Structure 1
Amino acid sequence: MSVEAASNSSDQSGLKPFLAKYNFKLGEASDEYIARRKRQMVLFMSSAALTIFASRFAYKSTISRQYIPTLFQGNHAPPLSYNFATDAAVAVGTGTLLCGSVSSMVIFGSCWILDVSNFKEFGWKMKSMMGGYEKERELSKLPMDEESAYIQDGLNDILEGKYDFDEDGTEEGK
């Protein structure tokens, strides 16, 4: 048993009694589920920390570029040493960093709330939330039109091996 696994099991063994003592539902959950939720929380908290860092960086870079004239200087003209290209590059980079960090925080937070860990689970969750299973059942009860039935029967025949095609593409005996 590795040191990491031993420390993880000791964390889990100390966590479960605590959760059970205070009557949390998570106290009855499996270790895999607790680890999964912990990973989702860490992703969200990491993206939140990145968002805080990015917003602080944006604030500092904005304040540092601010032009404050001295006593007898006009406030309508920026100093001669001002570089518009650098200012634009910093603004675009900062805006991109802020947008990415806030988006990741929203995405990871939503996944944590919805208990989603991958794209397949996201698809299942969205399908169930939007009533996809009920709509699927309703559609299966509707009568099928003639063309769709013909195509479906043809595909079923091919899958069942009722058709045998040679290399020329002609059909051999049924």
Structure 2
Amino acid sequence: MAGMKSLKKKRRIQVIAVAAVALALSTAMIGYAMRDGINYFRAPTQVMDEPPAPSETFRIGGLVEEGTLIRGEGTTVRFSVTDGGASVPVTYTGVLPDLFEEGQGMVGTGRYVNGTFEASEILAKHDETYMPKEVVDALKEQGVFQHAPGEAPAAPNG
């Protein structure tokens, strides 16, 4: 009888050990991906609160701020992306997606250099289902949809 119990205990320890190894591996892979800057997502408020290093590639998402879209010389465009709490200036050289316009959702991949997000890729996100959950949450948290201009929303704690 006693032998049976210790076998079960041993089995449980093995299962826990395997789970721990799997967890460590997945954490390491996520860390590796983040070190590589693969799609680590930030809202504009987060970028302003803790500006990422210029070497870090990440994704930013939010709404294209009304009145900020400037199509410049050649293919370079400038605009600001906002989550209702903060807005970050963006520059992008390339062809914008058809759906890209002011007041619409967007996600950009790039780097934050000298106070401007230099995007390497811009995606227009018209639909909540395509927007990263974090963007939707940030926008809802900021109450951006019924947000009166010029009124500062309370900063979220943390």
TM-score using structure 1 length: 0.25
- Counting helix residues as a fraction of each chain, which structure ranks higher? 1
- Counting strand residues as a fraction of each chain, which structure ranks higher? 2
Larger radius of gyration: 1
TM-score using structure 2 length: 0.27
